Amino acid sequence: MPHVELRDIHSTLGGISILRGMDFRIPDVASTVAGDPYIVLLGPSGCGKSTTLRTIAGLQSPDQGQVLIGGEDVTTRPSRRRDVAMVFQGDSLYPHLTIRQSLAVSAARTTDRSKRESQIGRAILMTGISAIADRHPDRLSGGELRRAAIAKVIASGASVRLLDEPLSALDASVRHGLAADLRRFHDTDAATTIHVTHDGDEAMRMADLIAVMAGGRIVQFDTPSQIYDAPNSVTVAQSIGTPPMNFLNASIANGEVCFEDDRIRLRRCESVDHIVGISSASSVKNIIVGVRPASVHLGELGSTSLVLSIVRSSLSICRMNHSLLITVPIEGQAFAALLPRTTLFETTSLEKDTVSIAAGFDDLHFFDRATGIRINDRSDR
């Protein structure tokens, strides 16, 4: 299927610079994915995700840069000649047409009548909307409307499908069902899919590749596991994970990592050169140490690890579905630990006056505090 590529796109809206050197290029790691990768564009509200989709679709012209589809420069080509279909935020269905009629409008560029009919029939079947196909949009629920909007994209027969927040504002069961269906549509139909969301969990669940966006450009384009396990910056680390990664301020002094909060230490810390993978002679002195809540354990660990000793009374414990969420205030933030729910029943550790929680060295992420850029290389370990 045709790859979508953006080269150094700059875009201004209402005098404000939105896309600032946006490069969207499928990374080499895509070769490890079977078939066409399902791509999720992830970023906080207002970072320019919809603007990116509109630029690919040809609904907005960039001030500078190139849009390529299947290797062809389509920057100046009108939207209708780009082989692209888009689901907009807030469903783009014609209010005066039935869903079937809307699908026919979408399929109109297929000139062969029987092929067009088959595209429409297939879209109705795949999205399971046959019972509602002859209704108008004002007679449909939010979930049905979303299905109908996705059917429109399938009926268009376009090779590039752009989905802008296709799962937002749906109740949990509808959202999970539709998420599974979107993956199925992608896997059974040859198409390039780019799905926009601000929800890191949704991105993790759905994507083969995640493009994390911040400040009008892509900051990491990688597999979900690399984004989770080896985020290249604090910004990327924050974009994935519930609760989000914990961040602790520390500095490098005399070859050791010293935390600002003296309840925290690195146990069996031999030397910065050895453990952090950066030279103690490096100019980086102030760092941030990141640890995911799911990497935290109760009690001390045998190997090199970060250990946090806390007074029992400062802990808050909250029961989640499958885990216990423990939080403790550190540096004005809630440091979170996700422990197995059985911890509460199987251990007496939580009853002591001072509780130790720890994370193994391999689960720590080191960032330069000045730039937010990662300074340890996980592949070295």
Ligand X SMILES: Nc1ncnc2c1ncn2[C@@H]1O[C@H](COP(=O)(O)OP(=O)(O)OP(=O)(O)O)[C@@H](O)[C@H]1O
Residues near ligand X, by CB under 6 A: 13-14, 16, 18, 43, 45-51, 198
Q: How far is the CB of 194 from ligand X (least distance, A)?
A: 12
- Rounded to an integer, what distance in angstroms lies between the CA atom of residue 298 and that of residue 3? 46
Write out the H or E segment, with its range, that includes residue 127.
helix 113-127
Q: How far is the CB of 19 from ligand X (least distance, A)?
A: 8
Q: How far is the CB of 192 from ligand X (least distance, A)?
A: 19
- Cα 281–Cα 283–Cα 284 angle in degrees, nearest 5: 105
For ligand X, the closer CB: 49 or 82: 49
For ligand X, the closer CB: 47 or 250: 47
Provide the b/e sequence for 158-186 (b: ≥16 CB within 10 Å): bbbbbbbbbbbebeeebbeebbeebbebb
Identify the CA nearest to 290 among candidates 323, 322, 243.
Answer: 243
Residue in the block written with tokens 């060295």: 361
Q: How far is the CB of 72 from ligand X (least distance, A)?
A: 24
For ligand X, the closer CB: 53 or 358: 53
Q: How far is the CB of 54 from ligand X (least distance, A)?
A: 7
For ligand X, the closer CB: 13 or 108: 13
- Rounded to an integer, what distance in angstroms lies between the CA atom of residue 90 and that of residue 97? 17
Identify the CA nearest to 145 among candidates 187, 95, 193.
Answer: 95
Residue in the block written with tokens 């490096």: 282
For ligand X, the closer CB: 90 or 142: 90
- Rounded to an integer, what distance in angstroms lies between the CA atom of residue 258 and that of residue 241? 26
For ligand X, the closer CB: 104 or 179: 179
Closest residue by beta carbon to ligand X: 14
Q: How far is the CB of 105 from ligand X (least distance, A)?
A: 25
Question: How many CA atoms lie within 13 Å of 303's alpha carbon, on the beta-carbon side?
Answer: 8
CB 69 within 8 A of CB 83: yes
For ligand X, the closer CB: 48 or 231: 48
Residue in the block written with tokens 């009690």: 299
Q: How far is the CB of 273 from ligand X (least distance, A)?
A: 41
DSSP string, 284-343: --EEEEEE-GGG-EES--SSSEEEEEEEGGG-EEEE-SSEEEEEEEETTEEEEEEEETTH
How many other CB atoms are there within 10 angstroms of residue 79's CB atom? 15
Q: How far is the CB of 46 from ligand X (least distance, A)?
A: 4
Q: How far is the CB of 336 from ligand X (least distance, A)?
A: 25
Give the β-pairing of 84-87 and 256-259.
Answer: unpaired
Identify the CA nearest to 257 among candidates 369, 124, 101, 355.
Answer: 369
Give the β-pairing of 160-164 and 192-197.
Answer: parallel
For ligand X, the closer CB: 12 or 282: 12
Q: How far is the CB of 81 from ligand X (least distance, A)?
A: 23
For ligand X, the closer CB: 46 or 142: 46
- Rounded to an integer, what distance in angstroms lies between the CA atom of residue 305 and that of residue 314? 22
For ligand X, the closer CB: 43 or 290: 43
